[in-house]
Amino acid sequence: MLSAVWQDPEQTRASLTARMELTQQSVHRLLSTLHEDGMILFGPLVPPKRKGKPSPRLLLNPRFGCALGVSLDTDRVGVACMDFAGGHVTRQFSIAGDSVEAVLNRIDEAFDALLAQARFRREDAVGVGCAIAGYLMKNGRYNPPEPLKHWSEVDLARRVSERFRLPCWTDNNANTAALCEAMFGLGRSYRNLVYLSFNYGFGAGIISEGDLLHGAFGNAGEIGMIFTPEEAESRPALGLLLAHLRRAGHDVRSIEEIGAAIGRVPDEVAVWADRVAPQLNRVINAVTAVADPECIVFGGQIPRPLAQAFIDRAEFFARPRHGHINPLPELEISTLGGETPAVGAACLPLRALLF
């Protein structure tokens, strides 16, 4: 019931009753209990579309509590605080090989600042969601890219939980970014989407009927596995673009500086985009065939001009049969920006405990 209210901000008590497989009396009783517990608020009365009485709009109570989110990437950390209704504030800071303890200390400082900004106390937080670049191993730890190699030795959920004295849920950055997109971005229009996360590496998150798909080992969307070792050097990972620009003699020091570099050396970026386009097209066609999404979202840290360049080079391999071609997904650029993976990470405790 809470999930239904979350998914539709325009929901009224009457429209929710019509959706639920419960009697009107049962729905009203459950909503009254949620109201008494402080989870929902009854908003203004909304006139019915047809005959009937006005019905109150259902609102999640933002002051019921909050959740904290962290996203660890190769050169930066995003931090978020999300209230019960989905409102959020964020911060970020740069890292460059900083020790685990040093990063946790800075996260702690960011938590204090965000909680104060959102007017919450530590005891109002129900948990922490922590996302990291990399895939999940059988021992429950993550195997991140080279700049975060020292984090592979960390039991992330346990370390974060013990450090902040809160329950912790973990996932990879592509998944939490996809979750954020599903809840606040293009997921409002598409229930089935694939989120391509262009960062130092290249991954994906799969949303099926509004829910994140994890797979048997927690690595659904680990699309780097489809490349041969030779092809892996020509996949559309921004870390490889960074190396390409440096080899060409351009002073580009981090992923965040790539956007400015595109404006300075567009021809050099275009050469790289042409080289990696075949691998990207394979991914686009693979996720189309396997996940059958309505939309493929270009997200992560990719600058918008580069995302558009990839879309311009995209090619679907589907062939007509008997004069017809199967439905194909839209290719869209995420408009969320900011700390998308951290915001998605903050969703993890709320979804696990309440939604």
Tens digit of pLDDT for each residue in 34-52? Answer: 999 999 999 999 988 777 7
Looking at per-residue pLDDT, the higher value among 270 and 1 belongs to: 270
Q: Give the strand pairing for 202-208 and 55-60.
A: unpaired
Residues 6+ apart with CB under 8 A from 148: 72, 73, 74, 132, 133, 134
Within 10 angstroms of residue 257's Cβ, the number of other Cβ atoms is 15
Segment 274-297 mean pLDDT: 97
Query: What's the pLDDT at 238?
Result: 95
Tell me if 139 sits within 8 A of 78, measured CB to CB: no
pLDDT at 139: 87
Count other C-beta atoms under 10 Å from residue 87's C-beta. 12
Q: How, if at all, do strands 55-60 and 168-172 pair?
A: unpaired
pLDDT in tens, 169-181: 999 999 999 999 9
Q: What is the pLDDT of residue 246?
A: 94
> In the structure, what pLDDT confidence band is assigned to residue 337 with cuts at 50, 70 and 90?
confident
Residue 135's pLDDT is 93
List the CATH code of the domain at 64-178+341-353: 3.30.420.40
Q: Which residues of 313-334 are buried (b: 16+ CB within 10 A; e: fewer)?
A: eeeeeeeeeeeeeeeebebbbb
Q: Whose CA is closest to 248, among 283, 220, 284, 275?
A: 275
| pTM for the whole structure | 0.93
Domain boundaries, the chain: 2-60, 64-178+341-353, 188-333
User: What number is the average pLDDT over the span 249-258?
Assistant: 90
Instruction: Flag the least confident range among 79-88, 133-142, 186-195.
Output: 133-142
> Beta partners for 48?
none
C-alpha to C-alpha distance for 112 and 22, rounded to whole angstroms:
42
Q: 188-333 adopts what CATH topology? A: Nucleotidyltransferase; domain 5 (3.30.420)
Task: Please determine, for residue 138, whether its predicted confidence score (pLDDT) is greater than 90.
Answer: no
Distance CA 111, CA 68 (A): 7
Q: Is the confidence at residue 244, as pLDDT, over 90?
A: yes
Residue 354 vs residue 95, higher pLDDT: 95
Mean pLDDT value of segment 18-31:
90
Phi, psi of 159 (to 5 degrees): -65, -45
Question: Which segment of 149-153, 241-245, 252-256 scores lowest on mean pLDDT?
Answer: 252-256
Q: What would the DSSP string read from start to end of 206-235? A: EEETTEEE--TTS-TT-GGGGS-HHHHTTS
pLDDT of the residue at 10: 77
pLDDT band at 338 (very low <50, low <70, confident <90, very high): confident
Give 336's contacts (C-beta < 8 A, 6+ positions apart). 180, 181, 184, 185, 299, 343
Is residue 200 within 8 A of residue 147, CB to CB? The reply is yes
| Inter-axis angle of helices 266-291 and 238-247, nearest 10 | 160
Average pLDDT, the chain: 94
Q: Percent of the chain at pLDDT above 70?
A: 100
Per-residue pLDDT band at 347 (split at 50, 70, 90): very high
- Token readout for 171 is 């996932």
Hey, do 2-60 and 188-333 end up sharing a CATH topology, with the first three levels equal? Answer: no
- Domain 2-60 in CATH 1.10.10? The answer is yes
pLDDT of 295 strictly over 90? yes
pLDDT for position 21: 86
pLDDT at 196 over 90: yes
Q: How confident is the model at residue 11 (pLDDT cuts 50, 70, 90)?
A: confident
pLDDT of 52: 77
pLDDT in tens, 202-229: 999 999 999 999 999 999 999 999 999 9
State the Cα–Cα distance between residues 234 and 236, nearest whole angstrom.
Answer: 7
pLDDT at 330: 98
Q: Return the SS3 of 115.
A: helix
Region 333-338 average pLDDT: 91
Q: Are residues 144 and 150 in contact, defined by beta-carbon separation less than 8 angstroms?
A: no
What pLDDT score does 87 carry?
95
Q: How confident is the model at residue 354 (pLDDT cuts 50, 70, 90)?
A: confident
As a whole number, mean pLDDT of residues 116-142 equals 95
pLDDT of residue 209: 93
Q: What pLDDT is recorded for position 204?
A: 97
